[in-house]
A and B are shown apart, each in its own frame.
Chain A
Amino acid sequence: MCTVCGCGEGETRIEGHDHEDHSHGHDHSHRHPHSHEHEHDHHHYGQGPARAHAPGMDQQRMVQIEQDILGKNDRYASGNRQWFADHGILALNLVSSPGSGKTTLLTATLDALAGELPLAVIEGDQETSNDADRIRATGAPALQINTGKGCHLDAHMVGHAVESLEPAEGSVLFIENVGNLVCPAAFDLGEAHKVAILSVTEGEDKPIKYPDMFLAADLIILNKIDLLPYLQFDVAKCLEYAHRVKPGVQILQLSATSGEGMENWLQWIRMTRQTRLIGHPALQPQSAAVPA
């Protein structure tokens, strides 16, 4: 990461966030072509004189660090979380493998909730702004983050994206992570909940194949259930696997295309937002709109 501002590996592009402004005055070594000769000689690591150090014997010394490697991301995430709380924003981090129907689910959700709740979207993809364009077509403000070679969003990128996007007070902010069931599990973005989306066109054993992600999720959506008649997908088995990884996790079955089960998801969003906003002024206009 950049030591000036903590930016990622220099490949990340956030719409409306001009990285040139940072004037990174240093050359990131990882940007040169990787030397593959290394693949053949890296076995020397770990075979050295492990722990054969004796402090005070020479000029070398030991420095105790005891630092969490993801500590920096976690600090950014904590800053984001505070900002979301202050602004009454329910941030949901949508994670799944590519092709699970995340963006379709999101556009259907935005269409259904438009006019009812303030909405905003941060889209993460390695390349293209296709998804943000699809989202903007629904009328919701959306901002694309291209991670370049990166396989996940991190809290720092999201912080910058939020600065540019400026979601309204009381918004539901959907953060659509890069399609990847591995890496995004490790990176807290400051969201209220991770929502894992799994579609019935995938294997029912995904929850135990990628347990980290399903463990990190507070809600699992089983999508594309309209296709079940044509597939060999064992729903009961899938639910059992999910509960094995995370006992008691809530699972909603729906089809973003046919609309079946969508109301449960919308209701989950409404209720979660209400719970999140208890005591926050952003909830007041909503209740004031209800005739006494």
Chain B
Amino acid sequence: MHEMAISESIVQIIEEQAQTQSFSSVKTVWLEIGRFAGIEIEALRFTFDVVSRNSVAEGSLLEIIEIPGSAWCMECGKNVDIQQRFDPCPECGSFQVQVSGGDGMRIKELEVN
């Protein structure tokens, strides 16, 4: 359940932005969550709802843009899409693949009042 800590970080970043960008409430939060970021989306929605109470983000809509997993295969030198971290290269079957996308998470933008 580190989604709780992640939600706290999201609310904290939004609170900081509310100060610097002068807004008082948030309507929508767009998050980019990578497939390999280790985040359970439903747990994130639940904890965000709880943690955002009494903050500028209270009642805001969480829109999640899931970033697919991509990797670079050292054997065939191609960029490939993978479903799980330890998946072999779908082209050549090699396990020498390096994840190149889908392992991050960030707040992309906010719709604010």
Chain A interfacial positions (CB closer than 8 Å to B): 1, 3, 6, 8-9, 27, 29-30, 34-35, 38-39, 42, 45-46, 48, 50-51, 53, 59-73, 149-152, 154, 182-183, 185-187, 207-208, 211-212, 215, 241, 243-245, 247
Find out whether the CB atom of A69 lies under 8 angstroms from the CB atom of B109.
Answer: no
- Alpha-carbon separation in the docked complex, A129 to B52 (Å): 32
CB-defined contacts of A64 to chain B, threshold 8 Å: 108-109
Find out whether the CB atom of A150 lies under 8 angstroms from the CB atom of B107.
Answer: no
Beyond A69-B6, A186-B2, whether A61 also contacts B108 by CB under 8 A is no
Q: Ordered nearest first, which 9 A-B pairs have the shortest CB separation?
A: A183-B2, A29-B53, A211-B85, A65-B107, A63-B110, A1-B8, A29-B54, A245-B86, A68-B106
Min C-beta distance of A180 to chain B, whole Å: 9
CB-defined contacts of B9 to chain A, threshold 8 Å: 1, 69-70, 72-73
CB-defined contacts of A67 to chain B, threshold 8 Å: 13, 106-107
Selected from B2, B8, B85, the residue in CB contact (under 8 A) with A151 is B2
| In the complex, number of A-B residue pairs with CB atoms less than 8 Å apart | 143
Residue of A nearest to B113 (CB): A60
Selected from B1, B27, B62, the residue in CB contact (under 8 A) with A45 is B62
* B interface residue count range (under 10 / 10 to 19 / 20 to 34 / 35 or more): 35 or more
- Alpha-carbon separation in the docked complex, A151 to B8 (Å): 14
- Can you list 14 residue pairs at the A/B interface with Cβ under 8 Å? A1-B12, A3-B15, A3-B16, A6-B12, A8-B5, A8-B8, A39-B46, A63-B21, A63-B111, A64-B109, A65-B13, A149-B1, A152-B2, A208-B86
Residue of B nearest to A183 (CB): B2
- Alpha-carbon separation in the docked complex, A39 to B47 (Å): 11
Min C-beta distance of A104 to chain B, whole Å: 26
Residue from A48, A63, A67 with most neighbouring chain B CB atoms (10 Å): A63
Selected from B12, B13, B110, B113, the residue in CB contact (under 8 A) with A59 is B113
B51-94: contact bitstring with A at CB < 8 Å (1 yes, 0 no)? 11111000001111000000000000000000011100000000
With A30-B47, A46-B45 known, 11 other A-B pairs at CB within 8 A are A29-B55, A30-B53, A35-B50, A38-B49, A65-B106, A69-B6, A69-B106, A150-B5, A151-B1, A152-B2, A183-B5
Beyond A65-B107, A211-B86, whether A46 also contacts B1 by CB under 8 A is no
CB-defined contacts of A150 to chain B, threshold 8 Å: 4-5
Residue of A nearest to B27 (CB): A60
Find out whether the CB atom of A244 lies under 8 angstroms from the CB atom of B86.
Answer: yes
Find out whether the CB atom of B38 lies under 8 angstroms from the CB atom of A185.
Answer: yes
Find out whether the CB atom of B4 lies under 8 angstroms from the CB atom of A244.
Answer: no
Selected from B46, B53, B105, the residue in CB contact (under 8 A) with A70 is B105
Selected from B5, B23, B105, B111, the residue in CB contact (under 8 A) with A53 is B111
- Alpha-carbon separation in the docked complex, A212 to B34 (Å): 13
Find out whether the CB atom of A45 lies under 8 angstroms from the CB atom of B45.
Answer: yes
Find out whether the CB atom of A66 lies under 8 angstroms from the CB atom of B107.
Answer: yes
- Alpha-carbon separation in the docked complex, A247 to B95 (Å): 8
- Alpha-carbon separation in the docked complex, A241 to B29 (Å): 38
Beyond A65-B108, A69-B13, whether A187 also contacts B2 by CB under 8 A is yes
- Alpha-carbon separation in the docked complex, A46 to B111 (Å): 15
